[in-house]
């Protein structure tokens, strides 16, 4: 039976599961619905809406990305301005690649969401529900923090920086109004009204959608990792109850309790592997792209400081903080998953295992061996995301910044 069909046949044991699921996934659902990635349960005409959102999002992303590239390669001659626009092009290209990765993994994302819903339905004990809600709140808060920092940086760029640049006068005494993204003039004259106003609004929406992609990727990682952490807390609770069986059903033997622990542990290992498959390309683009854009933002801050452009320094500093904090959230999520998954083996050693039958103790040894390889989030199966990785990102960004600075000074 297909997993999606099987999930619908399971009878819920948690009477509050609907409210719990809404509480945990509400903000992530809003974000992914805006770009057509959230798995929809609508039938008929409603099922077409996500496809329309995906087509429109791809069109907007690709159109403005191509326009920026054409402007930099064919129209802009100043190398310093080319470098300044390069950060914007790199940022939008990374968002586009991550959006394509999410689109390709949409079926697996749906399966992960269904697994989360199933686990919430099957919660029986209130203490287990409390553990899941504790980590569900952490994942929910991480999505909010990511959105606040990203959209604050976006608002600074859309409003304050554009005000600082203001309009310019060219050699022919024509007023050039500033756009968020440079437009190649060979196709359309974006300076004429109402084309300029329409283009500016569409570019603002495009910028907001890019932030929705970044926030949605981080939210998926936060939801999956914190859900796994909640399940691990339930396993640890069951391990602590393995010897005495105070919270187990009557006539439930030690071997039966151990079997339930192994089944749950195996299930979350498979779920973790599925989530890593969904996120590995996204993490790779995030890791490489954010490192490069951070170093460019550092360079922009230095050059604007030298030119005494205080509003430019403020804007790029806010963008730099938002990008750095977003990378920190990714690394915090990965480190939380690594630390929590290794705690299962520690809990096996801390219980009164000497009171268990010999065969049951041998089963604990297998659980300890499995927990010695922690669950991780990898960037393309090349680099594992953790707080130590965050330090490496900062070191790499400063190294790239020094290279660009020395190259331009020569």
DSSP helix/strand/coil, 175? strand
Q: How confident is the model at residue 226 (pLDDT cuts 50, 70, 90)?
A: very high
Is the dihedral angle over the CA atoms 139, 144, 147, 149 positive or is it negative? negative
Q: Decide which of 317 and 165 is more confident.
A: 317
Question: Average pLDDT in the 131-139 region?
Answer: 90
CA atoms within 13 A on the CB side of 306: 5
User: Please, which pLDDT band fits residue 385 given cuts at 50, 70 and 90?
Assistant: confident
Residue 173, pLDDT above cutoff 60:
no
Q: What is the DSSP string of 71-138?
A: IIIII---HHHHHHHHHHHHHHHHHHHHHHHHHHTHHHHHHHHHHHHHHHHT--SHHHHHHHHHHHHH
CA dist 122 to 112, 340, 366, 379, 393, Å? 16, 22, 26, 32, 40
pLDDT over 60 (residue 3): no
Distance CA 71, CA 84 (A): 13
Give helix 195-240 / helix 17-34 axis angle, nearest 10°: 150
Model pLDDT, residue 398: 77
Confidence grade of residue 166 (pLDDT, cut at 50, 70, 90):
low
379 φ, ψ (degrees, to nearest 5): -95, 95
How confident is the model over 161-180, as a mean pLDDT?
Answer: 61
Which percentage of the chain shows pLDDT scores above 90? 9
Question: Is the pLDDT at 113 greater than 60, yes or no?
Answer: yes
Q: What is the mean pLDDT of residues 344-361?
A: 82
Whether 5 shows a pLDDT value over 80: the answer reads no
Q: Token pair of 149, please? A: 């920092």
Whether pLDDT at 116 is above 60: yes
287-310 pLDDT tens trace: 888 888 888 888 888 888 888 877
How far is residue 198 from each of residues 49, 169, 195, 301, measured CA to CA in Å?
24, 22, 5, 30
Confidence (pLDDT) at 10: 54
pLDDT in tens, 84-104: 888 888 888 888 999 999 999
The neighbouring-strand residues paired with 176 are 168
What mean pLDDT is predicted for residues 189-197?
Answer: 75
| Residue 169: predicted pLDDT | 54
Confidence of residue 161 (pLDDT cuts 50, 70, 90): low
pLDDT on residue 8:
45
Tell me what the pLDDT averaged over the chain comes to.
Answer: 81
Domain ranges of the chain: 16-409
Distance CA 314, CA 325 (A): 16
User: 174: pLDDT confidence band, cut at 50, 70 and 90?
Assistant: low
Look at residue 2 and tell me whether its pLDDT is greater than 50.
Answer: no
The β-bridge relationship of strands 378-379 and 175-176 is unpaired
Parallel, antiparallel, or unpaired: how do β-strands 168-169 and 175-176 relate? antiparallel
Q: 15 pLDDT exceeds 80? A: no
237 vs 127: CA distance, rounded Å: 9
Are the beta carbons of 21 and 120 closer than 8 angstroms? Answer: yes
- Whether the pLDDT of residue 241 is over 60: the answer is yes
Buried b (16+ CB within 10 A) or exposed e, 167-176: eeeeeeeeee
**Confidence band (pLDDT; 50, 70, 90) for 228?**
very high
Q: 120: which 2 tokens?
A: 């919430």
Say if CB 190 and CB 196 are below 8 A apart: yes
CB neighbours of 71 closer than 8 A, spacing ≥ 6? 85, 182, 183, 184
Distance CA 328, CA 288 (A): 14
Q: Is 42 helix (H, G, I), strand (E, B) or coil?
A: coil
Question: pTM for this structure?
Answer: 0.85
Q: In the structure encoding, which two tokens stand for residue 205, read together?
A: 């929406």
Q: How far apart are alpha carbons 157 and 207 in whole angstroms?
A: 10
- Establish whether the linkage from the previous residue to 203 is cis, with ω within 30° of 0: no
pLDDT of residue 168: 56
Residue 165 clears pLDDT 70, i.e. is over it: no
């Amino acid at each position: 039976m297909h997993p999606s069909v099987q999930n619908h046949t399971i009878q819920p044991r948690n009477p509050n599961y609907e409210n719990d699921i809404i509480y945990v996934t509400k903000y992530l659902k809003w974000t992914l619905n805006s770009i057509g990635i959230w798995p929809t349960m609508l039938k008929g005409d409603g099922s077409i809406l996500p496809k329309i959102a995906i087509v429109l999002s791809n069109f907007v992303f690709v159109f403005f990305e191509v326009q920026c590239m054409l402007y930099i390669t064919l129209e802009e001659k100043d190398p310093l301005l080319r470098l300044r626009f390069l950060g914007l092009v790199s940022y939008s290209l990374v968002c586009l690649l991550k959006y394509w990765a999410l689109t390709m993994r949409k079926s697996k994302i749906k399966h992960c969401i269904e697994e989360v819903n199933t686990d919430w339905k099957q919660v029986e004990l209130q203490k287990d529900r409390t553990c899941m809600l504790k980590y569900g709140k952490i994942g929910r808060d991480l999505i909010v923090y990511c959105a606040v920092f990203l959209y604050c940086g976006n608002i600074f760029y859309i409003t304050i920086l554009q005000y600082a640049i203001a309009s310019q006068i060219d050699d022919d005494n024509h007023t050039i109004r500033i756009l968020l993204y440079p437009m190649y003039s060979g196709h359309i004259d974006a300076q004429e009204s109402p084309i300029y106003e329409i283009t500016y609004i569409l570019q603002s929406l495009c910028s907001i959608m890019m932030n929705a992609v970044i926030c949605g990727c981080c939210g998926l990682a936060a939801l999956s990792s914190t859900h796994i952490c909640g399940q691990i807390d339930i396993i640890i609770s069951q391990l602590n109850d393995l010897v005495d069986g105070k919270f187990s059903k009557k006539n439930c033997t030690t071997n039966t309790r151990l079997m339930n622990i192994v089944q749950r542990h195996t299930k979350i290992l498979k779920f973790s592997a599925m989530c890593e498959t969904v996120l590995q390309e996204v993490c790779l683009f995030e890791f490489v792209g954010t490192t490069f854009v951070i170093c460019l933002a550092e360079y922009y801050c230095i050059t604007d400081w030298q030119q005494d452009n205080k509003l430019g320094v403020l804007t790029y500093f806010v963008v730099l903080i938002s990008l750095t904090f977003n990378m920190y959230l990714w690394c915090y999520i990965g480190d939380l998953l690594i630390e929590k998954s290794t705690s299962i083996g520690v809990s096996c050693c801390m219980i009164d295992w000497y009171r268990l039958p010999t065969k049951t103790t041998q089963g604990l040894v297998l659980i300890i061996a499995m927990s010695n390889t922690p669950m991780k989030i990898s960037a393309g199966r090349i680099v594992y995301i953790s707080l130590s990785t965050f330090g490496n990102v900062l070191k790499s960004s400063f190294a790239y910044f020094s290279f660009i600075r020395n190259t331009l000074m020569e």
